[in-house]
Chains A and B, each alone.
Chain A
Amino acid sequence: MEEKGEIHLPRSIFNEMLDHCRSCRPEEACGLLAADAAGKAVAVIPVTNSLHSPVRYQMDTREQFDAMKRIRQQGWSLFAIFHSHPLSEPAPSPTDIRQAFYPEAYMIIVGLENDPAVVRGFVVEEGRVGERPLRVVADSLP
């Protein structure tokens, strides 16, 4: 992963993540972003919110396991964990902070309260939260 400074999301990754979050409304959506060996976000892996709630999420255990295995097998790393806040601003709630067990990954929150959506990125470690500027960048040529 790049230095935990600015978060760069290629346009196609950003759009795919946003589309998934919109398609799950009114429920909260969730998923993982994987990075390649160079630390560039290269894949969106949507995961079912097993709570099917507009205000809470928990990744389906099996799908989470399979997604992490896929990331490992592809030689990728866990870049970010994303979820949506369909009804509120995209800031980590006390629940988000308490249940953040993956400090190595960015926490990306997609706020769908307004149109256009507001997407923000954070680093959360042991209860401490730091926002990181999130920038959508052009897809690089294959």
Chain B
Amino acid sequence: MSVVVRIPTPLRKLTGNQGEVREEGKTVREILNGLESHYPGIRERLTDESGELRRFINIYLNEEDIRFAEGLDTTVKAGDEVSIIPAIAGGSR
């Protein structure tokens, strides 16, 4: 299954400045594995030591946040779009 993955600016250093790449996989987890094999170092920016999504990283499959689906085990199909979207957060303290 080939899907388009949208890469946010801070991670484009790892993808040779590409904002969109294509990856193969049946689940979001497999897509992330594919990303890591092509762009080493990218997975640790997205997931923690236990392999779960980092708190400030959101991943959307088409229009849906995968946290409200099956998380990293959410299945993907050909033509889907996976968007990696860092949270926008901060504060005075």
A interface residue numbers (CB < 8 A to B): 28, 30, 32, 47, 51, 53, 55-59, 61-62, 64-65, 68, 81, 83, 85-88, 92-93, 95-96, 99-104
Contact = CB atoms under 8 A, between A and B. Distances in A.
A46 to B, nearest CB: 13
A93 B93 CA distance: 6
A75 to B, nearest CB: 15
A110 to B, nearest CB: 11
A99 B90 contact: yes
Contact of B87 (A56, A58, A85, A95): A58
Contact of A58 (B9, B10, B88): B88
Interface string B49-93: 000000010101001010000000000000000010111111111
B88 A30 contact: yes
A56 B65 contact: no
Given A57-B91, A93-B91, A101 B58 contact: no
Given A95-B89, A99-B90, A101-B8, 14 more contacts: A32-B88, A53-B91, A56-B92, A57-B89, A64-B58, A65-B63, A65-B65, A86-B92, A93-B92, A93-B93, A95-B90, A96-B90, A96-B91, A101-B87
A22 B93 CA distance: 19
Contact of B65 (A47, A61, A87): A61
A87 B88 CA distance: 20
B10 to A, nearest CB: 5
A58 B85 contact: no
A62 B88 contact: no
B69 to A, nearest CB: 13
B67 to A, nearest CB: 8
Interface string B18-59: 000000000000000000000000000000000000001010
